[in-house]
């Protein structure tokens, strides 16, 4: 089911991601991988075991690392405020709560190595390991949002899963959109949470003259569009400010969203995605990621969490 037409991804990009999901394409890819294994021997991206991208033992550890999701927003200092109760908490008067971000696991150890190999080193075969990790985080986040009183009522619109868009430069360098590929596979396999709709509502922004003259946008020119991971906290915010749009004000009025990204560090990217959606009139209920850099104090069920990555 589709909520809105989605002109935000180019037809060529959408076709490329759909092509990867076809059985014959997967079979051709497996055959090509076998040939490469002979010509260019591979090894486990975690432990270095020969002839396999991820050995059975490391595969099990990665899957276990995503089975106890936790909320990681407290240490992501650039996240925007939550819209719950005006963004204010129930404890200290005047306390503002950050947007809730549920993470499947900690960005460290085996999970971090697999994510890096999948995103930056062409290991698309690792998508089969990461799909259940992302699916679990989405299900927990949606259950918490809908169980918190925002959904399940008559007339309440479906919750829209909105992926953070990749940049054109990153797609050209990789040849695919890592997050989009995972979400497309979950959608085609009917593995997205019930009652949700997947829509790429955010696109890269074309800045007007007034926006270019905004103080924060002017400072962004200093970074030269560098990768987020190479920047500090303030640099990350400047680097992404004003780079996304979800349409004109009011075009998404009445739409409820859950932002989806791969990794949470400072929260700058999710903050920009949230800004774009709210500027178009949408309500952002929270976000979900596969991994977060902060060690959890407790998981999403408020149980003690093991801070040691596997």
* Predicted confidence (pLDDT) at residue 247 exceeds the cutoff of 60: yes
Q: pLDDT value at position 206?
A: 76
Q: pLDDT value at position 241?
A: 84
pLDDT tens readout for residues 283-300: 999 999 999 998 777 778
On whether the pTM is more than 0.85, the answer is no
Angle between helices 178-188 and 11-19 (to 10 degrees): 60
Confidence label for 6 from pLDDT (cuts 50, 70 and 90): very low
| Average pLDDT value for the chain | 80
Confidence label for 213 from pLDDT (cuts 50, 70 and 90): low
Q: What average pLDDT does range 213-218 have in this prediction? A: 51
User: Minimum mean pLDDT among 53-57, 74-78, 251-255, 268-272: which range?
Assistant: 74-78
Confidence label for 75 from pLDDT (cuts 50, 70 and 90): confident
Confidence label for 15 from pLDDT (cuts 50, 70 and 90): low
* Predicted confidence (pLDDT) at residue 301 exceeds the cutoff of 80: no
* Predicted confidence (pLDDT) at residue 63 exceeds the cutoff of 90: yes
* Predicted confidence (pLDDT) at residue 234 exceeds the cutoff of 90: no
- Higher-pLDDT residue of 277 and 51 is 277
CB atoms within 10 A of CB 259: 28
235: left (phi over 0), alpha (psi -120 to 50) or beta: alpha
Q: What average pLDDT does range 203-229 have in this prediction? A: 55
Q: pLDDT value at position 133?
A: 97
Q: pLDDT value at position 118?
A: 96
Q: pLDDT value at position 2?
A: 44
With 0-12 / 13-18 / 19 or more C-beta atoms within 10 angstroms meaning exposed / middle / buried, residue 32 is: exposed
Q: pLDDT value at position 273?
A: 97
Distance separating alpha carbons of residues 13 and 184, to the nearest angstrom: 12
Please choose, from the candidates 256, 274, 179, the residue with its C-alpha nearest in 3D space to the C-alpha of residue 3: 256
Phi, psi of 286 (to 5 degrees): 165, -165
CB atoms within 10 A of CB 29: 13
Contact predicate 260/233, CB 8 Å: no
3-state secondary structure the chain: CCCCCCCCCCHHHHHHHHHCCCHHHHHHHHHHHHHHHHHCCCECCCCCCECCCCCHHHHHHHHHHCCCCEECHHHCCCCCECCHHHHECCCCCCCECECCEEEEEECCHHHHHHHHHHHHCCCHHHHHHHHHHHHHHHHHHHHHHHHHHHCCCCCCCCEEEEECCCCHHHHHHHCCCHHHHHHHHHHHCCCCCCCEEECCCCEECCCCHHHHCCHHHHHHHHHCCCCHHHCCHHHHHHHHCCCEECCCCCCCCCCEEEEECCEECCCHHHHHHHHHHHHCCCEEEEEEEEEECCCCCECCCCCECCCCCC
Distance separating alpha carbons of residues 134 and 229, to the nearest angstrom: 21
First to last CA, the chain: 37
């Amino acid at each position: 089911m589709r909520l809105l037409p989605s002109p935000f991804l180019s037809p060529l990009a959408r076709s490329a991601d759909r092509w990867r999901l076809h059985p014959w394409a997967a079979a051709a890819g497996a055959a090509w991988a076998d040939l490469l294994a002979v010509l260019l021997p591979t090894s486990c991206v975690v432990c270095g075991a020969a002839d396999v991208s991820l050995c059975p033992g490391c595969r099990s550890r990665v899957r276990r690392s995503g089975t106890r999701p936790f909320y990681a927003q407290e240490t992501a200092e650039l996240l925007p405020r939550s819209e719950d109760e005006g963004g204010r908490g129930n404890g200290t008067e005047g306390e503002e709560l950050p947007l809730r971000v549920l993470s499947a696991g900690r960005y460290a150890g085996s999970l971090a190595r697999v994510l890096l190999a999948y995103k930056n080193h062409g290991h698309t075969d690792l998508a089969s390991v990461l799909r259940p990790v992302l699916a679990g985080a989405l299900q927990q986040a949606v259950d918490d949002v809908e169980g918190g009183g925002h959904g399940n009522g008559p007339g309440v619109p479906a919750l829209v899963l909105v992926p953070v868009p990749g940049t054109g430069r990153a797609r050209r360098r990789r040849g695919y959109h890592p997050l989009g590929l995972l979400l497309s596979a979950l959608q085609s396999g009917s593995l997205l949470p019930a009652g949700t709709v997947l829509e790429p509502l955010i696109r890269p922004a074309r800045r007007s003259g007034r926006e270019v003259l905004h103080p924060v946008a002017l400072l962004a020119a200093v970074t030269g569009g560098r990768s987020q991971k190479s920047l500090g906290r303030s640099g990350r915010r400047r680097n992404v400010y004003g780079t996304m749009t979800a349409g004109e004000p009011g075009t998404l009025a009445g739409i409820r969203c859950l932002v989806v990204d791969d990794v949470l560090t400072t929260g700058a990217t999710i903050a920009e995605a949230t800004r774009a959606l709210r500027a178009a009139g949408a309500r952002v209920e929270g976000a979900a990621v596969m991994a977060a850099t902060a060690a959890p104090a407790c998981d999403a069920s408020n149980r003690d969490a093991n801070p040691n990555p596997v």
